[in-house]
Structures are given as structure tokens and as C-alpha cells.
Amino acid sequence: MAAVANGQKKEGIDGPTNPMVTPLLTDLYQFTMAYAYWKAGKHNDRAVFDLYFRRNPFGGEYTVFAGLEECIKLIANFRFSEDEIAFIKETLPTSCEDGFYDYLRGLDCSNVEIHAISEGFVVSPKIPLLRVEGPVAVAQLLETPLVNLINYASLVATNAARHRFVAGKSKLLLEFGLRRAHGPDGGIGASKYCYMGGFDATSNVAAGKLFGIPLRGTHSHSFVSSFMSPDEITEKSLHSSDGSHVCEDFVGSAQAWLSKLKRSNLLGGIFGETNQSELAAFASYALAFPKNFLALVDTYDVMRSGIPNFCAIALALHDLGYKAVGIRLDSGDLAYLSCEARNFFITIEKEFGVPDFGKTNITASNDLNEETLDALNKQGHEVDAFGIGTHLVTCYAQPALGVVFKLVEINNQPRIKLSEDVSKVSIPCKKRSYRLYGKEGYPLVDLMTGENETPPKAGERILCRHPFIESKRAYVVPQRVEELMKCYWPGRSGKVREELPPLKVIRERCIKHLEQMRPDHMRRLNPTPYKVSVSAKLYDFIHFLWLNEAPVGELQ
């Protein structure tokens, strides 16, 4: 991936997508700590924080890392306005000295260094996604917004990837969640990160404009039920697709087709009188969009009305050289109805010689989630595209990822956070992390080492240890070694800044990384845990520091 020369000029990177992301979008305690650091003359102590999560979401063994671009946009533009400083002054106790506000006035992230895994990578618990190195007071202020920007982004991108995994590569996945998302930011974020995680398009127009995500949509039940009768349609004429002739009564032509379908030996028994107000709605939609006609067919009765009405309009369009797009099903048994609809289309293709009519697109929606997609697969279905909203964007199955931000070093001294719960003990030291690939091209293990350790090399045997369980260790001879963290904000280090790629490139990377995972890590039921380990040296150091920091109990 390309890198740009030391580009920490703040004007080079736009601000965060959401203008609410400012230095005030943090918890009050970050300011009280910043003041206390400042008062103690400790605010410029050089701190290293790791941002990571402790457990994969949705019972899985993988997570998609998302939200980095927005973090870098925040860092690049991190400055307090006078107005914001005045508010902090009003908020903190009056005993706080004015010098602190002068300090805030001069604050930016020019002395902060950010290393991060690239957005769209598949990541695992405990491995730092982001390493923030800088003056302790600034790094502390960044904790809340960075965690906020990564938590939902990674969660919803993972949710999207999981829906894609169940639906299969060939299906079109449409994100329809804006109305059910957690507010406007939740809606915009869902559209961006579901696209990143493998969805094909969104119904969210603002997200289409902001991020260039393909926009797709059908129509609603209200459009269908707003029509009362075909007589409402006053302008009934439609040009043929090549402009050579005009059909003066398109509605009549569709009604003629409906009669023909009814008289057909193969289809006649399926339906009788269809709902004429529905036919009127479909005809109006076709007159408005003859090249993009699709119909929501479940307002009244799918098989007795919606499907025959759709077909009558589609055949009338076909007479004029147009090809109808398809239908949407939004209720009922989607497996059964999609199969019935497909049979109906195939019969029309055969009986009336309409090429490819059997392949007419079937979109399904209605409270879909991983489980319903899985159930549909098991039953067999004929759906080509899924429109998914509520469960996807609200992350109904798991509402938060549990990202944390922990101090691992200060003034070159490694720090550890102990806990009764071993999974909550932090891994100290400024570290590097690597992905080790095996013979078959799959990632085998992610390995953390100290910053200055010799990096693992392809073809060389390396001992990988579980960070906390002594007996869990393995020798690995990697076929390929990939360093995971790159420098996304060099601060004053003089390093080269990694470029932020366009969303489409991140999406492609994400899809590629998901595909290269070993299948047993990806399955829904009881996936094999992906290994996360530390070098022998780091293991020894963690346990040395642990013993050093943990007080020895006294029994009486």
C-alpha cells in the first residue's frame, strides 16, 4: 500500500465525517485527569496506550477492524476552539488554574504517534488495533473518542461480514437499516461499515453521497395501497424502448396480459381476480420507470395477486422492448414464496417464450438476520437479493464490542493492569505484532513481541506462547510474516505516514482477508479459536512484571 511523506499537516486530512466529533466528545474524567497531570507537571510524560478488544462478537472467532479513518481525521484536526475552552473552564472547579486553559489552547496531536492495523483487516482479541504514543494528558483525552469511533464501526462491519458469510458470495446484499439505526450517526456509520464488511449497496441516500456507496431500493407498501383503481391513471401511454412506437394504453395492455395468464393451462389455476388497485400501482411505477420496473408483491396476496399483476406488467413492458427488474417479498414464508414465484416466472418463460423471464430478480426482506438467512439456505430458496435493516444496523445479537484503551508504558517503563479475571490483565510494553501464515496460505497465529525484539522471519522456527497460560505454546515455522501495525500518524518521529485508502479499496481488502481465513475459524457453530500469542521474551516479561506488581498476601 502506498505511503505519503511525513504528511502530518492538518490541512491535508479532512475533519471527521460527523461534526459532533470534536475534542469535547470525551468523558469528563479525561479532562479532570488532564488537569491533574498538568498540575503535577506530568502532562508531557510520554505514554503508550493500546486500544484493543477482549472477545470476538456474535460468538464468532473473527472481527473486522473498522473506524480507523475517522480516528485519523480526529487526530489530524484535534484543536480546541475558544468556545470549547470557555466551556471546559465553566465545567471544571473554579480552583483550576488559568495556566491549564492556556495549555489546552496550544494543544494538538503534532506530538502524538499512531500505529494501527489497516482498516478492513480481520483482527483478534488482545492484539492492539491502535497504539497511541504521546504526552499522557493528550493520549488520555483521546481515549473516549477513539474507542467510540472504533467500537460500533468494527461491530457493525463484523455483523455485515457475518451476514455475507451466511448469504453466500453470489447474493446481492442491501443495507436497509437507516430508519431503525441508532440515530443519524448510527445510520450513516451503519451504511459505511456494512459496505466495508461486504454489503453491495445501501438505501441511505446521504451515505451514497458522502462515501460513494451504490444506492439501491424498491418501493413501499404505502405506494401500492395509495392507489384505488386503474381509472386513476390518466397518462397511460408508453414509448417502446427504441422509441419506434407508442403503446397508447399501457394499462389496458397489462390487463390483456393478465387475462392471457388467467387462461393459460399452467398458470390459470393459481389465481382468479387479482387486486386491480395493486395493478394500478404497478402500472404507475412501470410508467415512471419502464427500464427499472420492480414491484413489492405482498401487499394483498403474493401468489393470488402480487405475482400475476407483476408478470402482467412485466410482459406488457416486454412487448415494448423493456426488461422488468424483479419483485420484493416482505412477509410470509420467504423460502416457499420465493420458490413459488420462481416457478411462476419459469413457466412464463416457457409458455410465452420470453427469454430469461425465469431469472427475474427476487429480493426478500422482513426482519432478516443470520439465523433466518441460515434457515432459508437449509430449506432451499430462490432469493437473489436480501434487504436487511434492523438486525444488521442495531447489532441486535450483540450491542457492543467492548473495546478498551490501556496504558502499557510510561516514560519507557512498561505498565500492567492486573485483574482477578485473567482475560482482563493487560499486556504491557510498547509492542509490535505480526501475523504468521502457514503452508496452505492461511493465517496461523498473531504474535506480539516487544518493540525492539528481532522480528520473526519466514522459514524460521519461533516459539509462540499463550500470554497467560503456561502450558499453551507451539513452535511455528511461518511461510510468510506480515507486520500488522503501520504508522498512520507519525507525530514528530519523521516516519512515513501510511495513506488512508478509499472506502472501496478497504472493502476489497476486507473481503480478501475474510476469504483467506481458515474455514473452521469462520463457521457459525463452535468455530475453532484463532490463536493469539506472545514471544517467549514478552511472556517472561509479562509474568515478571505481574509478580512485581501484585502484592503478596499474608495468611493469619
Ligand X SMILES: O=C(O)c1cccnc1
Ligand Y SMILES: O=P(O)(O)OC[C@H]1O[C@H](OP(=O)(O)OP(=O)(O)O)[C@H](O)[C@@H]1O
Ligand Z SMILES: Nc1ncnc2c1ncn2[C@@H]1O[C@H](COP(=O)(O)OP(=O)(O)OP(=O)(O)O)[C@@H](O)[C@H]1O
- Contact residues: ligand X, CB under 6 A: 176, 203, 217-218, 328, 365, 387, 389
Q: Between 180 and 417, name the residue whose CB sits nearer to ligand Y.
A: 180
* Phi, psi for residue 404 in degrees, rounded to 5: -130, 165
Q: Which of 33, 92, 215, 375 binds ligand Z (CB under 6 A)?
A: 375
Collapsed DSSP state (helix, strand, coil) of residue 69: helix
Residue 370 binds which entry of ligand Y, ligand X, ligand Z, none, with Cβ cut-offs from 5 to 8 Å by kind?
A: none
Residue type, 215: L
From the CB of residue 62, how many other CB atoms can be counted at a distance below 10 Å?
21
- 376 is an interface residue for ligand Z by CB under 6 A: yes
Burial class (CB in 10 A: 0-12, 13-18, 19+), 555: exposed
Q: Which of 97, 367, 460, 549 binds ligand Z (CB under 6 A)?
A: 367
CA pair distance 488, 146, nearest whole angstrom: 14
Q: Between 189 and 387, name the residue whose CB sits nearer to ligand Y.
A: 387
CA pair distance 199, 129, nearest whole angstrom: 23
- 222 is an interface residue for ligand Z by CB under 6 A: no
DSSP characters over 258-279: HHHHHH-TTTGGG-SSPPHHHH
433, 436, 441, 442 alpha-carbon torsion, rounded to 10°: -70
CA pair distance 81, 514, nearest whole angstrom: 42
Q: Between 108 and 384, name the residue whose CB sits nearer to ligand Y.
A: 384
- 303 is an interface residue for ligand Z by CB under 6 A: no
Contact in structure between 361 and 325 (CB atoms under 8 Å): yes
- 111 is an interface residue for ligand Z by CB under 6 A: no
CA pair distance 71, 15, nearest whole angstrom: 10
Contact in structure between 255 and 289 (CB atoms under 8 Å): no
Residue 139: closest CA among 113, 103, 115, 117: 113
The beta strand positions in 69-206, using DSSP E, are 113-117, 122-123, 130-135, 172-175, 201-202
Residue 217 binds which entry of ligand Z, ligand Y, ligand X, none, with Cβ cut-offs from 5 to 8 Å by kind?
A: ligand X
The three three-digit cell numbers of residue 337, written as one number: 414464496
Contact in structure between 51 and 404 (CB atoms under 8 Å): yes
- 419 is an interface residue for ligand Z by CB under 6 A: no
Q: Tell me which residues touch ligand Y (CB under 6 A).
A: 176, 179-180, 330, 365-368, 387-391
- 332 is an interface residue for ligand Z by CB under 6 A: yes
Q: Between 71 and 296, name the residue whose CB sits nearer to ligand Y.
A: 296
The three three-digit cell numbers of residue 131, written as one number: 497504539
Q: Between 368 and 464, name the residue whose CB sits nearer to ligand Y.
A: 368
Q: Between 247 and 376, name the residue whose CB sits nearer to ligand Z.
A: 376
The partner residues of 550 in beta bridges, in order of sequence, read: none
Q: Which residue is nearest to ligand Y (CB)?
A: 389
- 379 is an interface residue for ligand Z by CB under 6 A: yes
Q: Between 154 and 159, name the residue whose CB sits nearer to ligand Z.
A: 159
Q: Which of 331, 394, 479, 493 binds ligand Z (CB under 6 A)?
A: 331
Reported as half-sphere exposure (CB side, CA atoms, 13 A), residue 81 has a value of 5
- 334 is an interface residue for ligand Z by CB under 6 A: yes
- Binding segment for ligand Z (CB under 6 A), chosen from 117-125, 361-369, 459-467, 500-508, is 361-369
CB of 22 to ligand Y, least distance (A): 32
Residue 388 binds which entry of ligand Z, ligand Y, ligand X, none, with Cβ cut-offs from 5 to 8 Å by kind?
A: ligand Y
Contacts of 63 (CB under 8 A, 6+ apart): 53, 56, 57, 122, 123, 124, 125, 154, 158, 401
Residue 203 binds which entry of ligand Y, ligand X, ligand Z, none, with Cβ cut-offs from 5 to 8 Å by kind?
A: ligand X
Q: Which of 51, 150, 368, 403 binds ligand Z (CB under 6 A)?
A: 368
Give the count of residues interacting with ligand Z (CB under 6 A).
Answer: 12
Question: What is the distance, to the nearest Å, from the Cα of residue 146 to the centroid of all Cα atoms in its chain?
Answer: 17
Q: Which of 255, 277, 372, 535 binds ligand Z (CB under 6 A)?
A: 372
Q: Between 163 and 509, name the residue whose CB sits nearer to ligand Y.
A: 163
Residue 385 binds which entry of ligand Z, ligand X, ligand Y, none, with Cβ cut-offs from 5 to 8 Å by kind?
A: none
- 335 is an interface residue for ligand Z by CB under 6 A: yes
- 329 is an interface residue for ligand Z by CB under 6 A: no
Q: How far apart are the first and last CA of the chain?
A: 62
429 dihedral zone (left: phi>0; alpha: psi -120 to 50; beta): left
Contacts of 224 (CB under 8 A, 6+ apart): 277, 278, 281, 282, 296, 299
Q: Between 327 and 534, name the residue whose CB sits nearer to ligand X.
A: 327
CB of 389 to ligand Z, least distance (A): 11
Q: Between 146 and 385, name the residue whose CB sits nearer to ligand X.
A: 385
Reported as half-sphere exposure (CB side, CA atoms, 13 A), residue 265 has a value of 2
- 394 is an interface residue for ligand Z by CB under 6 A: no
CB of 178 to ligand X, least distance (A): 7
- 397 is an interface residue for ligand Z by CB under 6 A: no
CB of 77 to ligand Z, least distance (A): 42
CB of 133 to ligand X, least distance (A): 43
Q: Between 25 and 215, name the residue whose CB sits nearer to ligand Y.
A: 215
- 380 is an interface residue for ligand Z by CB under 6 A: no
The partner residues of 475 in beta bridges, in order of sequence, read: 463
CB of 283 to ligand Z, least distance (A): 24
Collapsed DSSP state (helix, strand, coil) of residue 533: strand
Sign (positive or negative) of CA dihedral 191, 192, 197, 201 = positive
From the CB of residue 28, how many other CB atoms can be counted at a distance below 10 Å?
11
CB of 174 to ligand X, least distance (A): 7
Residue 390 binds which entry of ligand Y, ligand Z, ligand X, none, with Cβ cut-offs from 5 to 8 Å by kind?
A: ligand Y
Contacts to ligand Z by CB under 6 A = 331-335, 366-368, 372, 375-376, 379
